[in-house]
Every structure is written in C-alpha cells, then in structure tokens.
Chain A
C-alpha cells in the first residue's frame, strides 16, 4: 500500500479525502448545473455523480457527489480539479490513468473499483450534448 508512510494512502490522496474539492453538499438543487452523469452502484460499494455547468464549450464549473471509500472520494475530487476549465472534448478524454497519475498512484486493488468518476463525467457530457 503506502509503505514507509504513516497513512494507508499517499499524502495527496489523504489531502483530497480529508479536504475534498468541489463537492455538492446536500440537495443538488443548490448547484445550477446543465447536466449530470452517473456511474457505479451502491451495491458494489461505489457510486459517483458529476454535475457540470458548461459555457462556451468549456466546463465552467463542476460539482460531484460520491458514495464510496476514501480513494473513491479522493479520485472524484481530483477529477473535478482536472476537469475545471477544460473543453468538453478534453474532458471526455480524461482517463482513469490521468486521475491516478494526478493522485500519485492509488493502491492497485483500489484502482479498478474506485477510479470511476471519468465515466460519470463522460456520461454528463453525453447528456449535455444530447439536449
């Protein structure tokens, strides 16, 4: 896992877990979004929603909600930072690896189950474009 450190995840994961960025706290009507995408299933232990506000083909603002473990929360938080200000074409190409690189590599067994937010983001973009 995180050998040599005193916490199970890296410092940057810990920071995004303890101080998550851009989360949507409480009722989703508090954020004026253009589209929302979803991925995952609570039965499997992780579910994420990405809410996007689009202006001039770019992500002007973004919020998320997550039900999941520490790396699920941290990876969604990291994704929201990665996506902000980018064009829709750019954000649909954000991969799990990009999120993992940003966070300084999650433990392998966490990677597949908790780095899912980019799929929710792509889903949101698809829904926005379909409108």
Chain B
C-alpha cells in the first residue's frame, strides 16, 4: 500500500505504540488521584505538557489537553459566543460552523485564522491579522493542527492568544489534542464539572493517549521533523507535482508549491473531466490511498468549501485529489503513483461527458 493521506491521519509511530502499551500497564490509575499510581500518571501527563510547551515556545500552564483539534477549536469559539467572530474562508468546519452558530456582535472580537490549510496546504499570511486584532483589543486564535512537526512554531513570536494542536497528525493517537491559551486571555470551559486541567476542562485524564502524544512530540523534537519535511518530503511532493503536470493532460495544481507558500507535505491537484471520488477509488483499487475534495466522497452535496473559496469553480473542486505525505514516504511511492495515475485519468477523461481542453 502507498499511503498518501497523512494529513487526514497518520499511523502510530513505533515509539508511540511502545509508550502507550507501557502506559496502559503502568499508568492506568486516575491521574487526579492523590495516591502514588495516580501521582505517577500525572507526572507523565505533565511531561507531555512540557514537551509541547518546549516545541511551540509556550509555558506549560498555558496548555490544556482536549479530545482533539475539533474540541480545542470549539472551546475557543464557545468562549466568544455572542461576540463578533471573524474567520478565514479556509477554516476547518469545527471553526466556521461553530462561528456561524455562536457568533454575535459583542466586543472584543475573535479572529480565527489557521496558519496552514489542511486541504491545499496553503500557508496563510496571518501576521497582519494578528497585529490588527491586537491593535483593536481583539483576540486571535490559530488552528495549527497541520503545522505541528511540519514547520518550526514559536507561539510567543507569533503573538497568538489561542492555538490548536492534534496528536494524530504527527504519529500520535486519535482522540488527543491540545489548546494553547495565553496567560490572561478570556476562557470558558467547554466541559464543566471537574478540577482537571486547572478547572479548565472536566473529564478523567486520557493518560495513555496523552503519553502517546508525548512520545510523538519527543520524536518530532529529537529528529527535528520540520527539517526532514523541508528537504526530503518537499522533494517528493515537488517531484510528484512536476510529473503530474508534465505527464497528465488536463491536470492543474491547487497548491502553490513555491517555498513558503504551502506546507511541504501537501499537494492538491485537479484533473479536468475526471471526478475526484472515481479517481480516489480507482487509485484505492491499485493500493494507493489519497483523499478528494469532491462532494461525493464526503457524503455531502457540496464540494470542498476550501477549493470553492480558492478556485470558485465547482468542477475543479469535484475533480480534486489531495496527496499528503508523511515521513515514511519514498521516491518509490511517487513512482508507483505515476505508474497508474496517468492511465486512470485518461480512462476517466475518455468516458467523461466533459470534453478535456487540449
């Protein structure tokens, strides 16, 4: 299998599996308890908190663990319920739908602008938004889910008030995320009832999951994964982009692969006259795993809002495929994709009702 859907989720790193197995045997006690096993479990949780704080340049006290990025995003939006909420057009649904439901007109406002997008990998220029927000006494949140481990992160230098992270995009487990809340920034708990996380989030600690997140963070720090993404993975991504454009008529890129414009591991491309779900499933039948912005694949009737916002063209969105690379991908994987992709696209174009332009 050639797995190219790392931006959706990544397999557990071997280090994470080992750490979580150990955690389930040794650190099963309720981490809120005063007894020794509970205390030892809490120590491990605090280790992960320190690792994340170190990686993003924050204070450990400014981080709470959540069930994932969607909860972290929802928590921030709910904190600003009734307030004016501005979002970028590329936000995850856990931001834009929550903002639509909960936003109002009160001041101060919240700006929620992701640092980099999950579907096309675009890096948004948010520096001016951050300055603008703070100049007006407003607050700024950024979803950094896709950025963790892919680019160096310095929360203090960015001057963010809130930031969202997720474990399962970096080889950690699904069901663990984190929210950075700048010391002194407004905060309302999403889960009320319980003293956990300094009374900021109720619920028994997910000790094994948080320990797994810690192992993934340790891996990222030890291997400086952002350097590997910048060199090896970028070369694979750019190589695939080049071959797609050269070898597949009717192809176009939805990702700007200029350095600094996109995450180095994401490539979104569209194939004129060929529909995304069909491309995805023909690739699947060849053991190549990708995702699509086509409506069909999502169980929705509308194609990806991100591609619609970027291209304004439903056909381009329906015909889009996202290839997202992880640390395990190789040159061989790109070769395998290009052994079958041109044939799949050609066949779909030839049976399509739409004429491919040149």
Contact = CB atoms under 8 A, between A and B. Distances in A.
A20 B351 contact: yes
B259 interface: no
A113 B297 CA distance: 12
B352 interface: yes
Contacts of B273: 67
A68 to B, nearest CB: 5
Nearest to A64: B351
Interface stretch (A22-30, A52-60, A82-90, A121-129): A22-30
A42 B354 contact: yes
A130 interface: no
B278 A65 contact: no
B314 interface: yes
A42 B296 contact: no
B128 interface: no
A114 interface: yes
Given A45-B318, A70-B281, A25 B275 contact: no
Given A42-B315, A42-B318, A43-B315, A70 B353 contact: no
A45 B295 contact: yes
A113 B296 contact: yes
Given A43-B315, A45-B296, A69-B277, A24 B285 contact: no
Given A69-B275, A69-B297, A45 B303 contact: yes
A42 B315 CA distance: 6
Given A17-B281, A70-B281, A65 B352 contact: yes
A73 B273 CA distance: 13
Nearest to B314: A43
Given A42-B318, A45-B295, A47-B353, A67 B275 contact: yes
A18 B299 contact: no
The interface centre, meaning the residue of B315, B351, B354 with most chain A CB atoms within 10 A of its CB, is B351
A70 B277 contact: yes
B290 to A, nearest CB: 14
Interface string B342-358: 00000100111110000
Nearest to A108: B299
Interface residues of B, number: 25
Contacts of A115: none
Number of chain A interface residues as a range: 20 to 34
A65 B356 CA distance: 14
B185 interface: no
B55 to A, nearest CB: 37
Contacts of A40: 353
A35 interface: no
B1 interface: no
A121 to B, nearest CB: 14
Interface string B317-358: 010000000000000000000000000000100111110000
A8 interface: yes
B294 interface: yes
Interface string B54-93: 0000000000000000000000000000000000000000
B351 A25 contact: yes
B301 interface: yes
Given A45-B318, A73-B278, A68 B296 contact: yes
Nearest to A107: B299
B343 to A, nearest CB: 13
B197 to A, nearest CB: 37
A38 interface: yes
Given A18-B285, A67-B275, A23 B351 contact: yes
Given A42-B318, A45-B318, A69 B278 contact: yes
Given A42-B318, A70-B277, 19 more contacts: A18-B282, A24-B351, A25-B350, A25-B351, A26-B350, A38-B353, A44-B295, A44-B314, A45-B275, A45-B295, A65-B352, A66-B351, A67-B273, A67-B275, A67-B354, A69-B296, A70-B281, A72-B296, A113-B296
Closest A-B pairs by Cβ, 3 of them:
A69-B296, A69-B277, A47-B353
Interface of A: 8, 17-18, 20, 23-26, 38, 40, 42-49, 64-73, 109-110, 113-114
25 contacts: A18-B282, A18-B285, A20-B351, A25-B350, A26-B350, A38-B353, A42-B314, A42-B315, A43-B314, A44-B295, A45-B295, A45-B303, A45-B318, A66-B352, A66-B353, A67-B275, A68-B275, A68-B278, A69-B277, A71-B296, A72-B278, A73-B351, A109-B299, A113-B295, A113-B296
